[in-house]
Amino acid sequence: MRLVAFSVSLFACIGLASAQSEPAPTAAPTAPAPAAYQPAVLNPPAAEPPPPSATTTAPAAQPAAPAAPNGHFPAYPRKDAPSSAEQADIVSGRAALLRDRRFTPQTVDTAEVEPPVRHGDPRARWTVALSLDSVFYTDVGYDLFDDDNVSTRLGVWAGYDIAELALRTTLAIELGFGAEAQEQGIWQGALRTQLESQTFSAGASLRYALFSWLDPQLRASTGITRIAFELESDDSNSFDDHALSGFGALSAGVLVHTPAQLLENRRGEFASLNIGLLIEGGYALRSSVNVDPTRKAADHAIPITEAELGELALSGPYVRSSVVVRF
């Protein structure tokens, strides 16, 4: 139940966050950022004094005049026009001034200027997850190991997007591992039974990006489970057995996750990072296993025939809840 509550909370948080962050661009990851980028570089700081020639070159203080041949200075008709030598000095002075202005970088107070925003690639190809499976065992033989018909399996799995089959449709492959353990006393504690399993799985999933925060998906997986049994009586007799069970599973679910670039920083990092909750429901078809517990006998022991407990069928529906990190 805590998991369910957590899931609901996470779902609400994700929805709220996505509503506040819209509209974040999800495409054109290499496009230059607009607006604030160029002014921050080219505009001088307001507190810096103007250059010496500012009064003579400020266009707002002068009447309109025809443009100079070089296009930089307007030509003014002057009564006290300088001589050629003076003009040469003026020209050379201006040239020096321009040279100074070109090659003398202005000092900018970086503490007061925001760094440029860069955007990374928002496509998350990798998925890692912690999963909690609620597996529903319908076989009455399972009652030997657990009062309830629902077992909890903890697991981890990882996936990689290998292809975009169509617009918003992604195919991924996955590997996973899960483990579960059940133990209980029967016959009023006269016998203690234990069932442990480790499951290795491989699968493929098809994910469709319905919204920026919601991906329905289908999954097909197969794998093998190593099942270990133990039966111990209160007269200190202990028996054990283990078996392998193959399985195939189909499931459908929805992945609720943070939109792409929600967690991106200004340097464009973590653009593809998103976290979410994947809820799936499915059915696992497993091969049944025979439980024939044995006890190691001494070399000179009387030949012994042990009982066979029977067949344990572990096929059944399951619900998987996964906390997913994609990047």
Binder of other proteins out of 312, 320, 322, 324 (CB under 8 A): 312
Q: What is the DSSP letter of 93?
A: H
Least Å distance between CB 304 and other proteins?
A: 4
Region of 225 (left: φ > 0; alpha: ψ -120 to 50; beta: rest) is beta
CB of 272 to other proteins, least distance (A): 29
CB of 279 to other proteins, least distance (A): 8
Q: How far is the CB of 232 from other proteins (least distance, A)?
A: 10
Beta-bridged to residue 75, according to DSSP, are none
Closer to other proteins by CB, 124 or 255: give it: 255
Closest to other proteins by CB, 86 or 306: 306
CA distance 131 to 298: 43
Does residue 186 contact residue 233 with C-beta atoms inside 8 Å? no
Among 140, 166, 167, 299, contact with other proteins (rule: CB under 8 A)? 140
| Of 146 and 161, CB closest to other proteins | 146
Give the Cα separation of 254 and 321 in Å (integer).
10
Q: Coil, strand, or helix at residue 254?
A: strand
End-to-end CA distance of the chain: 28
Ranges within 146-205 binding other proteins (CB under 8 A): 146-150, 186-188, 190-191
What is the smallest separation between the CB atom of 139 and other proteins, expressed in angstroms?
8
Neighbouring CB atoms inside 10 A of 159's CB total 22
Please name which of 160, 237, 163, 229 lies closest in space to residue 197, comparing C-alpha atoms.
229
Q: Given the structure tokens 């690639």, which residue do they identify?
A: 121
Please tell me whether residue 299 binds other proteins under the rule CB under 8 A: no
302 lines the binding site for other proteins (CB under 8 A): yes
Q: How far is the CB of 135 from other proteins (least distance, A)?
A: 10
Total binding residues for other proteins by CB under 8 A? 42
Site string for other proteins, 216-245 (x = CB under 8 A): ---------------x-xxx-x-x------
263 binds other proteins (CB under 8 A): no
Q: Single out the residue of 94, 101, 89, 92 nearest to residue 73, CA to CA.
A: 94
Q: Could you tell me which stretch among 61-69, 101-109, 165-173, 301-309 binds other proteins (CB under 8 A)?
A: 301-309
| Cis omega (within 30 of 0) for bond into 63 | no
Among 10, 53, 108, 136, binds other proteins (CB under 8 A): 136
Instruction: Please identify which residue in the block is written with the tokens 């981890």.
Output: 156
Q: Per DSSP, what are the bridge partners of residue 280?
A: 253, 320
Query: Residue 255: beta bridge partners?
Result: 215, 278
Residue number, 122 or 293, with CB nearest to other proteins: 293
Rounded distance, CA 11 to CA 4, Å? Answer: 10
Q: Which of 14, 124, 144, 214 binds other proteins (CB under 8 A)?
A: 144
Distance between CA 252 and CA 218 in Å, rounded?
Answer: 4
Q: Which residues bind other proteins (CB under 8 A)?
A: 1, 4, 8, 134, 136, 139-141, 143-144, 146-150, 186-188, 190-191, 231, 233-235, 237, 239, 291, 293, 300-312, 319
